[in-house]
């Protein structure tokens, strides 16, 4: 009985972690120099049903897309949407950090540069 | 004094680089609609296009042009096509080569002593623009033909400018831009307009006063 309870506890902890794990796709983008022109990227990303939030950083050439809980999105879809908006993706990675944390990281980095 | 060197620089830039009047880009992203306006005393243009692909847009445009001495006026309504011929995406810059063309009806009026004339003609307006932009620097050169039977109002423009500082994506960025332009057969002068440009992710506006002390206002908006 104890063993069953322990296993259930472990499983429920794991499952709850999976259910609430944040997934953010972060792309480095070439050619993104103007907010007015880059709005296409944001609009295309926000139109996806999987998207929770979008972050664009022109200085760091980064576009990050945070997904809703339990949603998935392929890197290729992100790449294609950015390409369709007129830009070129040089690298792409999946992060477990939410956009708020990624944004705070860049802000700290820029403050330190000053 | 400032005009003379420009008359040398303009053709050189046009050769090295080579749109229509004003902007960062003459079309928006795929499946977007872009509206644009460019207004001063002698040149007023309203333009709207729809991007059917990331590289192609179709639209309509209405342009009013007037000679400096007010003896000639032209009104042009066109169907337009815009094509992104080539884009260079660099780590901290972007450059573009555009084709813009139109086909429409020109209504003209020439006022001369005792001999006023008005006419309607078909006009074609093919042209190219090259632009280069970073988060701090903007350069563009445009040449567009405005041709009808016995009419040549070819348009040339160069622009250069800088932003006062870099901003975050959600903030409005101020720029200083100078444009030199000329329309053949309507003005013998090179119109030079220093302007303040404000770029935000939702809008693009420019305002300035040209070397004839006339105000100028431009805007762009993407739906």
What are B44-70's pLDDT values in tens digits?
Answer: 999 999 999 999 999 999 999 999 988
Q: Mean pLDDT over residues B175-186, rounded?
A: 95
B52 has a chain A CB within 8 A of its CB? no
Measured between beta carbons, which residues in chain A are less than 8 angstroms from residue B90? 30-31
Q: Mean pLDDT over residues A93-107, rounded?
A: 91
Q: What percent of chain A has pLDDT over 90?
A: 60
A47 has a chain B CB within 8 A of its CB? no
- Check whether A104 has a pLDDT greater than 50: yes
B223 has a chain A CB within 8 A of its CB? no
Q: Are B136 and B166 in contact (CB under 8 A)?
A: yes
Domains of chain A as residue ranges with CATH: 21-113 (3.30.70.100)
A59 has a chain B CB within 8 A of its CB? yes
Question: In this predicted structure, what is the pLDDT of residue B2?
Answer: 42
Question: Which one has a higher pLDDT value, B113 or B98?
Answer: B98
| Domain CATH for B79 | 2.40.160.40
> Would you call B87 and A40 a contact, using CB atoms and an 8 Å cutoff?
no
Q: Which residue among A36, A83, A85 places its CB closest to the CB of B204?
A: A36
Question: In this predicted structure, what is the pLDDT of residue A18?
Answer: 47
Question: In this predicted structure, what is the pLDDT of residue A37?
Answer: 83
> Would you call B88 and A31 a contact, using CB atoms and an 8 Å cutoff?
yes
Q: Which residue among B32, B166, B199 places its CB closest to the CB of A59?
A: B166
* Nearest in space to B157 (alpha carbons), one of B28, B51, B23: B23
- Check whether A19 has a pLDDT greater than 70: no
> Would you call B30 and A40 a contact, using CB atoms and an 8 Å cutoff?
yes
Q: Mean pLDDT over residues A68-72, rounded?
A: 90
Q: Mean pLDDT over residues A66-93, rounded?
A: 92
pLDDT band at B116 (very low <50, low <70, confident <90, very high): confident
> Would you call A36 and B200 a contact, using CB atoms and an 8 Å cutoff?
yes
- Residue range(s) defining the domain that contains residue B196: 3-222
pLDDT band at A97 (very low <50, low <70, confident <90, very high): very high
A104 has a chain B CB within 8 A of its CB? no
Q: Which residue among B25, B30, B94 places its CB closest to the CB of A84?
A: B30
A40 has a chain B CB within 8 A of its CB? yes
- Check whether A88 has a pLDDT greater than 70: yes
Q: Which residue among B29, B93, B167 places its CB closest to the CB of A40?
A: B29
> Would you call A85 and B24 a contact, using CB atoms and an 8 Å cutoff?
no
Q: Which residue among B24, B93, B171 places its CB closest to the CB of A37?
A: B24
Q: Mean pLDDT over residues A53-68, rounded?
A: 94
Number of structural domains (chain B) is 1
Which residues, listed in sequence order, are joined to residue B124 by a DSSP beta bridge? B103, B147
Touching A: B residues 199-218, CB under 8 Å: 199-204
Q: Of A2-6, B120-124, B147-151, where does mean pLDDT reach its minimum?
A: A2-6
- Check whether A59 has a pLDDT greater than 80: yes
Q: Mean pLDDT over residues B31-39, rounded?
A: 93
pLDDT band at A38 (very low <50, low <70, confident <90, very high): confident
Question: In this predicted structure, what is the pLDDT of residue B24?
Answer: 62
Q: Mean pLDDT over residues A26-36, rounded?
A: 92
Max Cα separation, chain A? 62
Question: In this predicted structure, what is the pLDDT of residue A2?
Answer: 64
Question: In this predicted structure, what is the pLDDT of residue A20?
Answer: 57
Question: Which one has a higher pLDDT value, B28 or B124?
Answer: B124
Question: In this predicted structure, what is the pLDDT of residue B111?
Answer: 86
Question: In this predicted structure, what is the pLDDT of residue A9?
Answer: 54
What are B125-173's pLDDT values in tens digits?
Answer: 999 999 999 999 999 999 999 999 989 999 999 999 999 999 989 899 9
Give the span between the Cα atoms of A87 and A82, in whole angstroms.
6
- Mean pLDDT value across chain A: 85
């Amino acid at each position: 009985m104890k063993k069953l309870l322990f296993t259930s506890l472990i499983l429920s902890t794991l499952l709850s972690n999976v259910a609430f794990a944040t997934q953010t796709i972060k792309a480095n983008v070439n050619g993104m120099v103007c907010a007015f022109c880059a709005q296409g990227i944001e609009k295309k990303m926000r139109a996806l049903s999987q998207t929770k939030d979008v972050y664009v950083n022109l200085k760091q050439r980064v576009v990050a897309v945070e997904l809703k809980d339990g949603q998935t999105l392929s890197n290729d879809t992100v790449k294609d949407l950015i390409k369709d908006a007129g830009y070129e993706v040089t690298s792409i990675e999946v992060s477990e950090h939410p956009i708020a944390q990624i944004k705070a990281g860049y802000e700290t980095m820029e403050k330190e540069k000053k | 004094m400032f005009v003379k060197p420009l008359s040398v620089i303009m053709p050189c830039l046009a050769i090295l680089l080579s749109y229509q009047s004003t902007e960062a880009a003459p079309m928006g992203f795929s499946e977007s609609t872009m509206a644009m306006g460019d207004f001063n005393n002698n040149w007023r243009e309203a333009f709207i296009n729809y991007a059917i692909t990331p590289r192609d847009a179709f639209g309509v445009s209405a342009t009013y042009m007037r000679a400096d001495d007010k003896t000639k006026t032209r009104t042009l309504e066109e169907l337009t096509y815009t094509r992104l011929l080539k884009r260079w995406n660099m780590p901290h810059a972007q450059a573009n080569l555009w084709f813009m063309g139109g086909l429409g009806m020109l209504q003209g009026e020439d006022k001369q002593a005792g001999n006023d004339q008005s006419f309607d003609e078909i006009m074609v307006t093919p042209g190219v623009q090259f632009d280069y932009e970073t988060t701090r620097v903007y350069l563009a050169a445009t040449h567009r033909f405005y041709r009808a039977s016995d009419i040549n109002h070819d348009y040339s423009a160069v622009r250069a400018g800088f932003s006062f500082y870099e901003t975050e994506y959600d903030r409005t960025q101020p720029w200083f831009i100078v444009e030199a332009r000329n329309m053949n057969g309507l003005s013998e002068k090179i119109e030079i307009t220093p302007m303040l440009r404000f770029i935000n992710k939702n809008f693009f506006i420019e305002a300035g006063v040209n070397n004839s002390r006339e105000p100028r206002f431009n805007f762009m908006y993407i739906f």
